Amino acid sequence: MDLNRLEPIDDWTWRLPRHGRMRVDGVIYGDSGLVAAMDDKVGEQVANVAALPGIVGASFAMPDAHWGYGFPIGGVAAFDPDEGGIISAGGVGFDISCGVRTMPTGLTRAEVQARQAELAEALFRKVPAGTGQRGPLTFSDRELDAALEGGAAWAVAQGFGRPEDLAFIEEGGRAVGAAPDEVSDRAKKRQRGEMGTLGSGNHYLEVQEVADLFDAEAAGAFGLAVGDVVATIHCGSRGLGHQVGTDYLGEMVAAAAGFGLDLPDRELACAPIASGLGRRYLGAMRAATNCALANREIIGHLVREVFADLFQTARLRLLYDVSHNTCKVEEHLWNGRRRTLFVHRKGATRSLGPGNAALPPSYRAIGQPVLIGGSMGTQSYILAGCADSEGKSFSSACHGAGRSLSRHAALRRWHGSGIIDDLARQGIIIRCPSLRGVAEEAPGAYKDVRAVVDAAEHAGLARKVARLRPFICIKG
């Protein structure tokens, strides 16, 4: 991106001044290197989002931002329904409620090391990964609707999780207002056999070691120590979420003229929050959110079973589960006024600061755990939300490293077998059903997660707590 188009606010914050059809400024977070390396399309998409009705504050892009569908991936925008605000399927994304959960195992690297290969094979067998993979569970229409209504709470009630998990999942593990009846039969058909599966692309199940701590107080509250082993799951709503996005994007495109919406980009198809279509999408989106929450809870249960079979002392409590493709109704103080806003986060995570009542009591003095996944075989991070992030980004932070090369470009540059061999030399076991999938997700196809996390910290979006180093990675 051409930095000459931007005004530096500080070393970590850049303003894209309001121009043309923009209703607000754009704000891009990152150091000069990260921002300069972003595709020009990111700036264009930030400006397009800023032109949507009812937007409040600014159109934001996180340090991991890259070109997406409509919104940039790493885009954040809040809309006021009292000012004609909209809901955009492209602002949520296709993998609705894709997210990350991290579970400390109660084990150390030294305890796990001797059975590393055995653990990798057991996890690969237990948790289906890859395009078109079916899970160990198949639900009837009635059971699936119950999952779409109940989320992780439903999974726990079915014996696929622990009741104590729910306090450590956003919104108690269930998005209120879900409307399974607004989800198409085709979407439900795609999901019926996919519960308990990782999917493909950048989704993963990793076993990681806590390599470094940066904030002793926060690490203590999160129950982390150097040498601890954690299991981290990254996945979402699978085929159902993708179909919900596809279905409603089509409806929103067709309805735009009737709503009087002159969109800067067809991919920003949207509907007024107060409209019938807007309400129907919100109900379907929340049902897909619950699908993802139930899916991660079920996978967490399967992972616990594997560890219990191999390690008698394994515990696997839930540290936190956070989604990063969502639209949530939130109260925010902005310019001295408290407002009810519909906050779109596409490839961005909540970063609630200390004192927020939505946090579990044990984390309330520290701030929300912010789980930042690296690329395959590279480090990940646990951060904590900052008090200042509300005024900077509606309490939002980045969600991962962010792609720097497309999947097609990665395939031209790397071979899956070579990547597996290279990571094996580093002590990292990769298990994936597709060598093509490994090549597409090559570590070099992503930004340096260290730079992204440092930028988020310096910008005041979240602060570093721990660095995680993987030694097993199950990929789709």
pLDDT at position 381 is 98
In order of 310, 453, 473, the CA distances from 381 in angstroms are: 26, 8, 15
pLDDT at position 393 is 97
Q: How far apart are CA 61 and CA 421, in angstroms?
A: 35
Q: Does domain 3-81+100-475 have CATH number 3.30.1180.10?
A: no
pLDDT at position 447 is 84
> Does residue 244 surpass a pLDDT of 80?
yes
Whether the model pTM is above 0.75: yes
Q: How far apart are CA 342 and CA 83, in angstroms?
A: 12
Model confidence pLDDT, tens digit, residues 396-409: 999 998 888 888 89
Model confidence pLDDT, tens digit, residues 282-293: 999 999 999 999
Asked if residue 142 lies in contact with residue 123, where contact means CB atoms within 8 angstroms, the answer is no
Task: Give me the mean pLDDT over the 88-111 stretch.
Answer: 96
The pair of three-digit structure tokens given for residue 139, joined into one six-digit string: 């639900």
> Does residue 371 surpass a pLDDT of 70?
yes
Task: Give me the mean pLDDT over the 249-257 stretch.
Answer: 95
pLDDT at position 139 is 82
pLDDT at position 193 is 82
> Does residue 202 surpass a pLDDT of 90?
no
pLDDT at position 201 is 82
Q: How far apart are CA 163 and CA 157, in angstroms?
A: 8
Instruction: Output the average pLDDT for the chain.
Output: 94
pLDDT at position 401 is 87
Q: How far apart are CA 220 and CA 200, in angstroms?
A: 34
Instruction: Name every residue whose Cβ is closer than 8 Å to that of residue 213 and which is 6 or more positions away in sequence.
Output: 219, 224, 225, 226, 465, 466
CB atoms closer than 10 angstroms to residue 417: 11
> Does residue 133 surpass a pLDDT of 70?
no
Task: State CA 206 to chain mean position distance.
Answer: 15
CB atoms closer than 10 angstroms to residue 296: 32
Provide long-range contacts, Cβ within 8 A and 24+ apart, for 411-419. 411/436, 411/439, 411/440, 413/442, 413/444, 413/445, 414/439, 414/442, 414/444, 414/445, 415/439, 419/376, 419/377, 419/443
> Does residue 300 surpass a pLDDT of 90?
yes
Q: How far apart are CA 180 and CA 189, in angstroms?
A: 13
pLDDT at position 132 is 63
Model confidence pLDDT, tens digit, residues 431-454: 998 888 889 888 888 889 999 999
- ∠ CA 281-285-287, nearest 5°, is 120
Model confidence pLDDT, tens digit, residues 158-169: 999 999 999 999
What are the domain boundaries of the chain?
Answer: 3-81+100-475
pLDDT at position 131 is 67
Examine the residue annotation and report whether 399 is marked as an active-site residue of this protein. Answer: yes
In order of 380, 427, 445, the CA distances from 385 in angstroms are: 16, 32, 28
Q: Which of 416, 381, 374, 370 is nearest to 130 (CA)?
A: 416
The pair of three-digit structure tokens given for residue 341, joined into one six-digit string: 């806003």
> Does residue 5 surpass a pLDDT of 90?
yes
Asked if residue 123 lies in contact with residue 115, where contact means CB atoms within 8 angstroms, the answer is no
Q: How far apart are CA 96 and CA 362, in angstroms?
A: 28
- What is the SS3 assignment for the chain? CCHHHCEEEECCEEEECCCCCCCCEEEEECCHHHHHHCCHHHHHHHHHHCCCCCEEEEEEEEEEEECCCCCCEEEEEEECHHHCCEEEHHHHCCCCCCEEEEEEEEEEHHHHHCCHHHHHHHHHHHCCCCCCCCCCCCCCHHHHHHHHHHHHHHHHHCCCCCHHHHHHEHHHHCCCCCCHHHCCHHHHHHHCCCCCCCCCCCCEEEEEEEEEECCHHHHHHHCCCCCEEEEEEEECCHHHHHHHHHHHHHHHHHHCHHHCCCCCCHHHCEEECCCHHHHHHHHHHHHHHHHHHHHHHHHHHHHHHHHHHHCCCCCCCCCEEEECEEEEEEEEEECCEEEEEEEEEECEEECCCCCCCCCCHHHCCCCCEEEEECCCCCCEEEEEECCCHHHHHCCEEECECCECCCHHHHHHHCCHHHHHHHHHHCCCEEECCCHHHHHHCCHHHECCHHHHHHHHHHCCCEEEEEEEEEEEEEEC
Which one from 301, 324, 344, 399 is the annotated catalytic residue?
399
Q: How far apart are CA 321 and CA 84, in angstroms?
A: 32
Of the pLDDT bands very low, low, confident and very high (cuts 50, 70, 90), residue 309 is very high
Placement of tokens 């989800």 in the chain? 183
